[in-house]
Amino acid sequence: MPLVRISVFHEMAAERRLRIAAAVYDAMRLTLGIPEGDRFIVLSAHLQDELIVDPNFMQMGRTSDFVLVHPTLRRGRSIETKQSFYEEAARLLEISANIAPDNIMVVLTENELADWSFGRGEAQYLLNPPDGTQTTKASRSDAKQSELRKSISAQKGDQS
């Protein structure tokens, strides 16, 4: 159920932007327990004076390939799960879109089930919560993660 905002500089090619969105979605599915099809991403390209980024803050070496990933998702994931997401996002962004890890900034924002309406003026997760949304356990079993990795890798291989 995350809503992800991704910001890049406008010079970045449209095809590369799509690869960034796909990599972030794949990383969420692999680490945060996001179901297939739960893909809501706002990708914005900014002029240099609209996205102000310190090139060296926290000893990073940022360039015009900077990517800001800002997922908003339901509260309840452990620190380890979040760290796993950061690592997987960096890994997939480097592989899929050739984004160096220093150029990737992730900021997670958490909220509650009552904070989501997917349409019709209803809070669907409160009215009819889908299986698993009432628990704070968000990580998948190792077997499911392995299966999902294979599926995503196979899809990536088909696109090459």
Residuewise pLDDT in 10s, the chain (160 residues): 799 999 999 999 999 999 999 999 999 999 999 989 999 999 999 999 999 999 999 999 999 999 999 999 999 999 999 999 999 999 999 999 999 999 999 999 999 888 988 888 988 888 887 665 543 333 344 555 566 566 666 666 655 4
Asked if 73 and 36 touch (Cβ cutoff 8 Å), the reply is no
Q: Look up residue 67 and give its amino acid.
A: V
Cα(109)–Cα(69) distance, integer angstroms: 11
Cα(52)–Cα(68) distance, integer angstroms: 11
Asked if 100 and 66 touch (Cβ cutoff 8 Å), the reply is no
- Cα distances (angstroms) measured from residue 51 to each of 9, 44, 48, 65, 155: 7, 10, 6, 12, 33
pLDDT of residue 136: 38
pLDDT of residue 114: 87
**The length of the chain, given as a count of residues:** 160
**Is residue 129 annotated as part of the catalytic site, yes or no?**
no
E strand map for 19-131: 41-46, 67-74, 104-106, 109-111
Q: Which helix (H) or strand (E) holds 66?
A: none
pLDDT of residue 108: 96
